[in-house]
Amino acid sequence: MNKSEFAKELGARAGLTGVQAQKVTDEFLALLTEAIAKGERVAFLGFGSFSTSQRAARVGVNPRNPSQKVKIPARKAVRFTPGAPLKAAANSGKVAKKKAATAAKKAPGTVKKDVKKATTAVKKDVKKVTTAVKKDVKKVTATAKKVVRKPAAKKK
């Protein structure tokens, strides 16, 4: 897959136009390049990380003339370290499908538990609010009764 094919597929998955997808791809690569040029490490959890490392100067051999030695200067090299999910996917395409299937099987029970927890929490909150409102109503009622009982001061 080349850059334009990648952008096209990205656009299809994200619901973007071809021009938008191409711009997103270009900006992503520009941002990644800038960060690497600054010597920063760029890590994507579950995918991998890009970093730079220093290569020492060394003496190599000219492949066209093996008797000739060539001095190779020191330089920085870009490194990519794949994450575990990416390694697993590269070695077996079934891994991602298995994880998705496992998550789908667990989901109904997990969702039920989450709903039950949320419902219980909401019930507790409603009870707290109801209790607080009842207390406030009692205070207001008591104050109103006191005001009503007091005779108004007569004006002369």
Torsion (CA) 130, 132, 133, 139 in degrees, nearest 10: 150
Q: Where are the alpha helices (DSSP H) in 49-93?
A: 84-91
Q: What angle, 0 to 180 degrees and rounded to 10, lies between the N-to-C axes of helices 3-14 and 18-37? A: 120
32-90 pLDDT per residue, tens = 999 999 999 999 998 999 999 999 999 999 999 999 999 999 999 999 999 988 888 88
Residue whose token pair is 């299809």? 12
Average pLDDT, the chain: 82
155 pLDDT above the threshold of 60: yes
Confidence of residue 129 (pLDDT cuts 50, 70, 90): confident
Confidence of residue 98 (pLDDT cuts 50, 70, 90): low
Confidence of residue 97 (pLDDT cuts 50, 70, 90): low
What pLDDT was estimated at residue 117? 78
What pLDDT was estimated at residue 141? 72
pTM, full prediction = 0.52
E-assigned strand segments in the chain = 42-44, 48-55, 58-62, 65-72, 75-82
The C-alpha angle 103, 107, 108, rounded to 5 degrees, equals: 145
